[in-house]
Amino acid sequence: MKNIVVFCGSNGGNDPVYVEQAYLLGKKLAETGIGLVYGGAQLGLMGAVANGALEQGGRVVGVLPHFLRTKEIAHEGLTELIIVDSMHERKMKMNQLCDGVIALPGGFGTMEEFFEMLTWGQLGLHRKPMGLLNTEGFYEQLIAWVQHMVDSGFLKEVNRQMLLWDSEIPELLRKMQHYRPPVVSKWIRQENT
């Protein structure tokens, strides 16, 4: 993988481990020669992952909507800052620039960005690995909820397997490197009875 998008909170959360892990992820990406593409802000986990990569000499590209730049949250030390017009354009640009996606802890924005790109993969619009860094079990309930979708007949197991996760950075990156996308269509045909 050449570049990984990281979606994460613009807040740091209540436990310092979230910021620590974000920083370590950025550092590990840079150490392994993987570029970081992220939301472009200097705040919270976003700033921590960028700083981890930058301090290790990594390439960091931020993609920030114009209206957020005017709020003075843009990280000024990036390799490149791309300004776009909308949140949708931001996701499209990030998708174009990456070979995989990792979500760190975050709120509504993190989930919306991650699940839209996961859905694009399910629909065959990309074949990229999608991973959750499950820091301190942050995503345990989400992982169980996704399994509930399968158990309830709303998601195929093969599509559930598109969602990768681990609590350890090296193991998550290993899973992403070895990811093979499903070859089955999302669409389910009803059999005539």
Please report which residue ranges of 62-107 form alpha helices under DSSP H: 66-69, 87-97
pLDDT in tens, 8-51: 999 999 999 999 999 999 999 999 999 999 999 999 999 999 99
Residue 191, pLDDT above cutoff 90: no
pLDDT in tens, 119-168: 999 999 999 999 999 999 999 999 999 999 999 999 999 999 999 999 99
In this structure, which topology does domain 3-177 adopt according to CATH? Rossmann fold (3.40.50)
For residue 164, give the H/E element and its range: strand 163-166
Contact 128, 119 (CB under 8 A): no
Name the token pair of 149.
């979708």
